[in-house]
Chains A and B, each alone.
Chain A
Amino acid sequence: MSQYNTHLLVCAGTGCHSSESSLVYEMLRDEIMRKGLDKDVQIIRTGCFGFCEKGPIVKILPDNTFYTQVKPADAKEIVDEHIIKGRKVTRLLYTDPETAEHILDSRHMGFYKKQLRIALRNCGIIDPENIDESIARDAYQALGKVLTGLTPQETTEVIKKSGLRGRGGAGFPTGLKWEFTARNKAVQKYVVCNADEGDPGAFMDRSILEGDPHSVLEAMAICGYCIGATKGLIYIRAEYPMAIKRLKIAIAQARELGLLGEHIFGTGFCFDISLKYGAGAFVCGEETALIHSMEGKRGEPSSKPPFPAQCGYLGKPTCVNNVETFANIPVIILRGADWFSGIGTEKSKGTKVFALAGKINNVGLIEVPMGTTLREIIFEIGGGVKNGKKFKAVQTGGPSGGCLTEKHLDTPIDYESLLAAGSMMGSGGMIVLDEDDCMVSVAKFYLDFIVEESCGKCAPCRIGNKRLYETLERITAGKGVQEDIEKLKNLGSVIKDTSLCGLGQTAPNPVLSTLGNFMEEYMEHVHDKKCRSGQCRNLLYYVISEENCIGCMACKRVCPTHAISGEKREVHQINQDICIKCGACMEKCQFDAISLQNDYPRVTVMANC
């Protein structure tokens, strides 16, 4: 990169790409060509910057100018003003929402200040389709180092010592997994990269593959060296066309340079990687299901043991790690286990990537050291709750996780603390919920997802989750009874206790954690037939305002069930027991006297009965 004075980085991650960042790139490139600046200014399409809320993003180096929500039409101004005249385009600069100041250097943005980017180290910096840029940022150096200087055992020891744990969900120590797989003797073994990111609301794996594919390829080769495998497979969602394209380019380029294939770095080590596509099944994130899917079968999990390390793909020892886990490996090799284990908490080392979404100002992808608190993540990095609403809960760990509340905000986040709080790390989705969200509905949303994604192999998950969903549906429809709460609790705990795989064993978490933290909302739904957020439509009531009603009888006449009472020129009332919520009265009323409320004046109605 050094021959250029200025670098223009245009985010080509999925978020920005969706808002026409490729057009922005083309316009900028044409403008630079037109002005004859292509010798001095390099323009790169990079992976995700993480700050998806304000995309498309254009960053200019060396001065770290951070332009947000750039439109294709802004290209000319950026080139004319910033590149040629050296004046920043103020209106495109990121504005601090608190101070209302334009931030001139992206390092001072609240969003980036607390972040530590290890797995995402190259995302948003390099052109993922150009291996030279990756190599300039040390790609394949770690592979060279282990192949020429370390034995497989020594390398595995480094990973073990670093304390790195699986970033896909359960947090199994990566080094141990490698050691187990290495120990099982077989002619053929496999390294599998789990890129079946099925967790709705999480997109870190996609961003890594799109922004820095070589870090994953390199790590897979290192893993292959450690466990004694010559074949690597990446199981990737077919819904990620851009990641697939960039992986294919990266694999081809690595092969061309001899970094994959036969005799890598002139050593006896051979390793090659091919792609296998997922086809839309969340359960395939579970490693035994993933392996069955790679074998061309239905993605149904099987009981462990035997573990994939003993009997995996095609019956051979197989090491399955997720994308983010792999992305950490090369840095650990280069910078040492001590450096890595110096970051994070006692049992959870390093950093974790989270996908922030929901009712939060800065939706995006962030990477923070383990042990960062939820408060720091949500309020400092995430910029707080959208539209100044009140924070209610944050859902972590996707459909397997749970909801954390106000009282968990200052808990340092790691595998153990999340588990203790009734949630889990999962792949790192973080959905912020505000006062407008009904927690029963949120639990129902996740159960709906689980019911659709359950593979159907084991009875508790296949039928139990369906019954949980139906019970929640009853409750949100105002038909719940106290018994339903007990049923939810018992069913939930039995499903966790008896399901075959991780999906079923964690499926009731959204229900159980909301039951634990928001019991009063469930009770309101069940006993008061009330949804405080107003999200459950069946628990909304047509109410006549005493102030606005003039007693014209229009609503009374139109009501098909004669639920409205009241004499002429008197304030009318709706008997909620009879009301079928057709809305005819509200349509008829010309005085804005009828509105939908999440509660109704019960005492009055009772008196009338």
Chain B
Amino acid sequence: MSQKLSIAAEVFAYMEDLAGTDGIAVKVNLSKEKIEKINQVCNAYHNDPGELINVLHETQHEFGYLPAEVQDVIAHNLHLSVAHVYGVVTFYSFFSMIPKGEHPVSICTGTACYVRGAEMVLEEFKKELHVKVGETTPDGRFSINCLRCVGACGLAPVVLVGEKVYGRVSPDGVKAILEEYRK
């Protein structure tokens, strides 16, 4: 947890920098160890530009998200322009440049869940946590995300907190779910 929180703190500092400079990306220097880790991932895929998406998956798994400087290193290793890498990262909803919370809350908004009231559940989470979809609470503990069908339609509406699945969630049940993690 502490490691994740420290990453979150790093990023919030980074985002503040962003705000202060009219949206210009500011370089945060990565440690040599982190660069080495990214190099390893790229090497495992033979630095093949065609493996960009697999490389991004693995680095995101490692870092929790894909900050600008990580994309920079990947681009360099795979002989791609950073703009291209960023274009790919922003195309796929699975990739994120913002770290998720310690307990990422994912609400399935697939059709089955929608017709069984997922929207109201989502509203309740937003209200409880005071963040929008795709955001992380300022303390870095929770983030909200929407998922498109996890394939557990029998349990609709479905909510995931981390890996744990909650089925047949009603707006009234939201508080209880969050309480489990608030302790």
Would A and B touch once assembled, by the CB under 8 A criterion? yes
Q: Which residues of A contact B (CB under 8 A)?
A: 14-15, 17-19, 52-55, 197-203, 206-207, 238-240, 276-282, 293-300, 314, 355, 357-359, 363-364, 395, 398, 429, 431, 433, 437, 442, 445-446, 449, 455
Q: How far is the CA of A276 from the CA of B115 in the complex (A)?
A: 32
Q: How far is the CA of A81 from the CA of B54 in the complex (A)?
A: 50
Going nearest first, the 3 A-B pairs with the smallest beta carbon separation are A52-B154, A203-B151, A296-B52
- Beyond A198-B148, A201-B110, A201-B111, whether A15 also contacts B153 by CB under 8 A is yes
**B114 beta carbon closer than 8 Å to chain A:** yes
Q: List 19 A-B contacts (CB under 8 A).
A: A14-B150, A18-B150, A52-B152, A52-B154, A53-B154, A200-B112, A200-B114, A200-B149, A276-B54, A279-B57, A281-B92, A295-B50, A296-B48, A296-B49, A296-B52, A298-B87, A298-B88, A355-B153, A363-B112
From the candidates A199, A277, A314, A433, name the one contacting B149 in the complex (CB within 8 A).
A199
- Beyond A277-B53, A279-B53, whether A201 also contacts B112 by CB under 8 A is yes
**B158 beta carbon closer than 8 Å to chain A:** yes
**B165 beta carbon closer than 8 Å to chain A:** yes
On chain B, the residues within 8 Å of A293 by CB distance are 53
Q: How far is the CA of A360 from the CA of B161 in the complex (A)?
A: 26
CB B144 to nearest CB in A, in angstroms, measures 15
**B67 beta carbon closer than 8 Å to chain A:** no
Contact between chains at A279 and B50 (CB < 8 Å): no
On chain B, the residues within 8 Å of A363 by CB distance are 112, 153-154, 156
On chain B, the residues within 8 Å of A357 by CB distance are 111-112, 115, 153-154, 156
**B109 beta carbon closer than 8 Å to chain A:** yes
Contact between chains at B155 and A19 (CB < 8 Å): yes
Contact between chains at B54 and A15 (CB < 8 Å): no
- Beyond A18-B167, A198-B148, A238-B94, whether A296 also contacts B154 by CB under 8 A is no
CB A422 to nearest CB in B, in angstroms, measures 18
From the candidates B57, B78, B115, B156, name the one contacting A437 in the complex (CB within 8 A).
B115
On chain A, the residues within 8 Å of B54 by CB distance are 276-277, 296
- Beyond A280-B92, A280-B93, whether A18 also contacts B165 by CB under 8 A is yes
On chain A, the residues within 8 Å of B154 by CB distance are 15, 52-55, 357, 363-364
Q: Which residues of B contact A (CB under 8 A)?
A: 48-54, 56-57, 78, 87-88, 91-95, 109-112, 114-116, 147-156, 158, 165, 167
Contact between chains at B149 and A201 (CB < 8 Å): yes
Q: Assuming A19-B167, A200-B149, what are 11 further A-B pairs, CB within 8 angstroms?
A: A14-B151, A15-B155, A198-B148, A200-B111, A200-B148, A206-B151, A296-B51, A298-B87, A395-B111, A437-B115, A455-B91
CB B20 to nearest CB in A, in angstroms, measures 30
Nearest residue in B to A431 (C-beta to C-beta)? B111
On chain B, the residues within 8 Å of A54 by CB distance are 154
The residue among B92, B115, B147 with the most chain A CB atoms within 10 A of its own CB is B115
On chain B, the residues within 8 Å of A203 by CB distance are 149, 151-153
Contact between chains at B149 and A202 (CB < 8 Å): yes
Contact between chains at A296 and B53 (CB < 8 Å): yes
CB A538 to nearest CB in B, in angstroms, measures 14
On chain B, the residues within 8 Å of A279 by CB distance are 53, 56-57, 92-95
From the candidates A19, A53, A297, A449, name the one contacting B148 in the complex (CB within 8 A).
A449
Q: How far is the CA of A364 from the CA of B155 in the complex (A)?
A: 10
On chain B, the residues within 8 Å of A55 by CB distance are 154-155
Q: How far is the CA of A295 from the CA of B53 in the complex (A)?
A: 8
Q: How far is the CA of A14 from the CA of B156 in the complex (A)?
A: 13
Q: How far is the CA of A296 from the CA of B167 in the complex (A)?
A: 35
CB B10 to nearest CB in A, in angstroms, measures 24
Nearest residue in B to A51 (C-beta to C-beta)? B154
Q: How far is the CA of A434 from the CA of B70 in the complex (A)?
A: 49
Q: How far is the CA of A559 from the CA of B115 in the complex (A)?
A: 34
CB B107 to nearest CB in A, in angstroms, measures 13
Nearest residue in A to B147 (C-beta to C-beta)? A239
Nearest residue in A to B58 (C-beta to C-beta)? A277
On chain A, the residues within 8 Å of B49 by CB distance are 296
On chain B, the residues within 8 Å of A276 by CB distance are 53-54
On chain B, the residues within 8 Å of A19 by CB distance are 155, 165, 167
On chain B, the residues within 8 Å of A295 by CB distance are 50
Nearest residue in A to B90 (C-beta to C-beta)? A298
From the candidates A15, A437, A445, name the one contacting B151 in the complex (CB within 8 A).
A15
Q: How far is the CA of A240 from the CA of B150 in the complex (A)?
A: 8
Nearest residue in B to A358 (C-beta to C-beta)? B115
Q: How far is the CA of A276 from the CA of B92 in the complex (A)?
A: 14
On chain A, the residues within 8 Å of B156 by CB distance are 357, 363
On chain A, the residues within 8 Å of B78 by CB distance are 296
- Beyond A200-B149, A281-B93, whether A398 also contacts B50 by CB under 8 A is no
Contact between chains at B148 and A358 (CB < 8 Å): no
The residue among A277, A279, A358 with the most chain B CB atoms within 10 A of its own CB is A279
Q: How far is the CA of A592 from the CA of B115 in the complex (A)?
A: 29
Nearest residue in A to B149 (C-beta to C-beta)? A200
From the candidates B52, B92, B95, B110, name the one contacting A200 in the complex (CB within 8 A).
B110
Contact between chains at B94 and A52 (CB < 8 Å): no
Nearest residue in A to B154 (C-beta to C-beta)? A52
Contact between chains at B91 and A281 (CB < 8 Å): yes
On chain B, the residues within 8 Å of A398 by CB distance are 111
Q: How far is the CA of A205 from the CA of B26 in the complex (A)?
A: 43
Nearest residue in A to B54 (C-beta to C-beta)? A277
On chain B, the residues within 8 Å of A442 by CB distance are 115
CB A510 to nearest CB in B, in angstroms, measures 10
Contact between chains at A239 and B167 (CB < 8 Å): no
Contact between chains at A18 and B158 (CB < 8 Å): yes
Q: How far is the CA of A208 from the CA of B158 in the complex (A)?
A: 21
CB B36 to nearest CB in A, in angstroms, measures 22
Contact between chains at B88 and A297 (CB < 8 Å): yes
On chain B, the residues within 8 Å of A17 by CB distance are 165
CB B143 to nearest CB in A, in angstroms, measures 16
Contact between chains at A445 and B53 (CB < 8 Å): no
On chain A, the residues within 8 Å of B93 by CB distance are 279-281
Q: How far is the CA of A398 from the CA of B93 in the complex (A)?
A: 19
Nearest residue in A to B112 (C-beta to C-beta)? A357
CB B159 to nearest CB in A, in angstroms, measures 10
On chain A, the residues within 8 Å of B53 by CB distance are 276-277, 279, 293-294, 296
CB B32 to nearest CB in A, in angstroms, measures 26
The residue among B91, B153, B154 with the most chain A CB atoms within 10 A of its own CB is B154
CB B45 to nearest CB in A, in angstroms, measures 10
Q: How far is the CA of A279 from the CA of B156 in the complex (A)?
A: 23
CB A604 to nearest CB in B, in angstroms, measures 32
